[in-house]
Structure 1
Amino acid sequence: MTEDRKPEELDPTAPEAPETPEAPGASGEDSAVQATPAPEPVAGDDAPAPAGGAADTPSADAADGADADGDAGGAGGTGAAGDSETSAPEADIAPRPETAAEAASGAESGGASEAAPGAKDDGDGEELQEMGLLGHLEELRIRLTRAAIAVVLGACVSYAFAEHLYRFIIDPLMPFVSGGHLIYTSPAEGFITYIKLAAVAGIFLTSPYSFYQMWAFIAPGLYKEEKRYIAPLAMASAMLFVGGALFSYYKVTPLAYEFFSSFDNEFMVMLPSVKESLAMGLKLLFAFGIAFELPLVIFFLARLGVVSSAGLRRSRKYAVLGAFIVGALLTPPDPASQCLMAIPLVLLYEIGIWLAHFFGKKTAPAAEEEEAAA
């Protein structure tokens, strides 16, 4: 391309460039210049040669004399270059073609974000929808409603056997009662007693379903491999709950009644009421039923990595002290029943330590601590 020159830098001896003819009959020199054939475009040139410039002709004689035309041609060339430079950013902005792998990955990521914008992955490919506080409260309400409906249905069925349930619950007390019968001081107390016994029987009867609702409420916060324990945990919870109540009925309650009846003499006669006797018996049933859930709670926390067997071993002395405190709070104020609750709690704590050792989540620091403790 011919370099642009300022007018003052032009050669004064060079002939002035002929003006472009505006009408036929121009001079011969102009005709000769116009008749000069345009050079053939060289192969590989991207931009076409600027038209109308005298400097674009191969004539060597007019090389220095056609500066004006050269300037005009240079202006044309500059315009072409400017056009090419202007179009360069457009080429950079244009998206480059994606490869098949990039297109597939982009489609997957875009589809996942559009499909579940508020979802999270649990590590096994299963998406868990995140819930806010209101969502969790709504889920809790649904679970509690289902459990309550099940308990009401169980109580309605159990009320048909209310008299048999009453005889079953007071049977450990009857050998220590003078006269062989209990008393009640309120006209409606007998009916209310049957209602309470039917409700308690409904709770124990539907305990597997109620525990399943409790574990199902916790399930959304667990990983897929942990969710498979929900049904076994619900069944184990019900079995331990009923097992603790039966242990209280056959072992603890008779000893507690025997201890309290030892104060019966010629000056005092034990005439227990139905209300007080039922309250004491049901308190022991629920206290031992809940206390027997301790190994299951330790197992669940160990699976989540909250506790470890090494940490439980280090806290053994505090657990023993806590077992006797719980026994004093949940049982009648007699040493026999308190010890009969504290000792099973300590044994259940030891079982929980072994469950945490075999089934707990293993981490590097926890494994080193267990090896050091062993």
Structure 2
Amino acid sequence: MSEADIDDQPLPLVAHLTELRDRILRALVAVLVVFICLFPFANEIYTFVSEPLRALLPEGATMIATEVASPFLTPFKLTLVTAVFAAIPYILYQIWSFVAPGMYKHEKRFAIPMLVSSIALFYAGAAFAYFVVFPLIFAFFTSVGPEGITIMTDINSYLNFVLKLFFAFGVAFEIPIAAIIMIWAGITDADTLARKRPYIIVGCFIFGMLLTPPDVISQSLLAIPMWILFEFGVFFGRFVQKREEVDSA
């Protein structure tokens, strides 16, 4: 591959640092703008996120705030995280705009679909956690408490718990992207990944066991989608591998 395939001329180090600063500032401003727009609805956002638990609380049980500032700070923190999540496409666009001038044309053709797919899969993982996993987890937790114990979950503890799960499931749904990138980078190939399928399946179920209640149904609802996503990664990775072999021929 010749240097002529690079679209932009090299820039001095100071120019790169200046551009990096500008990109970071634009990303921060985007998050701030989204946060300002969402903050008036902070309580409504928290109500929406807490619905999977509140819908399963026994009659008379409620969520509580055990710290003086929690009624304000917890919705505030959730709104800020929501703003970051919502601004992820723009943040990644700024990152892409910074690194793209140094990439070859064929790398750009590969990177753009990967970037879009990774965003979509992360959002899909978070949605899967909210609509599928949360109801199962909270149904289990609210049904196994000792008799005579009233469930009254602290709003900040709940938020910390669900944010970890949102992030974990978002990352877990990046499995096909990770598989394709490894194949494209030459770290492994599709056939090697396919031969390791039994280990991948076991790993998916172990991961599912660690993140869900200790029952087979909940564990399978996470492990099976991860396995399917791995198979998608191997399937599309074969096309990437063939394309690389053609380009290098």
TM-score range, shorter chain: 0.7 to 0.9
Identity of aligned residues (%): 37
Q: 1:342 maps to which residue?
A: 223
Distance 1:182 1:222 in 2: 51
Residue aligning to 1:151: 31
Structure (1 or 2) with the larger CA radius of gyration: 1
Which residue number corresponds to residue 280 of structure 1? 161
Match 1:296 to one of 166, 174, 177: 177
Return the alpha-carbon distance in structure 1 between the equivalents of residues 17 and 222 of structure 2: 35
* C-alpha separation in 1, matches of 2:55 and 2:202: 34
Root-mean-square deviation (CA), in Å? 3.0
Aligned mates of 2:114, 2:194 — CA distance in 1: 24
Residues 194/320 of structure 1: CA separation in 2 closer, same or farther (3 Å cut): same
C-alpha distance in 2 between matches for 1:284 and 1:208:
21
Q: Which runs of 5+ in 2 are unaligned?
A: none
Relative contact order (alpha carbons < 8 A, sep ≥ 6): 1 or 2 greater? 2
How far the C-alpha of 1:147 sits from its partner, in A, is 2.8
Q: Count residues in correspondence.
A: 243
C-alpha separation between the residues in 2 aligned to 1:184 and 1:222? Answer: 50
> What's the TM-score, normalizing by structure 2?
0.82
SS of residue paired to 1:194: helix
Does the 8 Å contact 1:122/1:224 carry over to 2?
no
Q: Show the counterpart of 1:236.
A: 117
> CA, structure 1 residues 303+131, in 2 after alignment: closer, same or farther (shift >3 Å)?
farther
- Is residue 216–residue 230 contact of structure 1 (8 Å, CA) maintained in 2? no
Amino acid at match of 2:142: S
Look up the match of 1:249. 130
* Residue aligned with 2:5, SS: coil
The runs of 5 or more residues in structure 1 that have no matched partner are: 1-119, 365-374
Confirm whether residue 203 of structure 1 aligns to residue 84 of structure 2.
Answer: yes
Once structures 1 and 2 are overlaid, which stretch shifts more, 150-159 or 242-251?
A: 150-159
2:205 to 301, 324, 332: 324
Cα displacement string for residues 13-69 of structure 1 (whole angstroms, at most 9, x for unaligned residues): xxxxxxxxxxxxxxxxxxxxxxxxxxxxxxxxxxxxxxxxxxxxxxxxxxxxxxxxx
Pick one of 171, 185, 188 that aligns with 2:51.
171
Deviation at 1:230, TM superposition (A): 4.2
Q: Write the distance in 2 (CA, Å) between the matches of 1:212 and 1:282.
A: 24
2: distance between equivalents of 1:140 and 1:254?
Answer: 42
Aligned to 1:69: none
1:314 Cα offset (Å)? 2.0
Map 1:17-56 to 2 at 5 A.
none
CA distance in 1 between counterparts of 2:140 and 2:172 reads: 22
- Counterpart residue type for residue 190 of structure 1: P
CA-CA distance at 1:234 after TM superposition: 3.1
Q: Is the 8 A contact 1:240 1:293 kept in 2?
A: yes
1:213 deviation in Å? 3.1
Task: Say whether the 8 Å CA contact 1:256–1:334 is kept in structure 2.
Answer: no
Match of 2:67 in 1: 186
Query: What residue is the counterpart of 2:245 in the other structure?
Result: 363
CA 186–312 in structure 1, closer or farther in 2 if over 3 Å, else same:
same
Distance across 1 between alignment mates of 2:93 and 2:234: 24
Displacement of 1:249 after TM fit? Answer: 0.4
Relative to 1, partners in 2 of residues 1:126 and 1:208: Cα closer, same or farther, differing over 3 Å? closer
Deviations 1:242-294 (A, max 9, x none): 11111110000000001111113423222111112112222221211121122
TM superposition shift of 1:231: 4.1
**SS of structure 2 residue aligned to 1:228:** helix
1:311 to 177, 192, 205: 192
1:165 to partner: Cα distance: 0.6
Q: Deviation string for 1:72-111 (max 9, x for gaps)?
A: xxxxxxxxxxxxxxxxxxxxxxxxxxxxxxxxxxxxxxxx
Residues in 2 aligned to 1:184 and 1:274: alpha-carbon distance in whole angstroms: 6
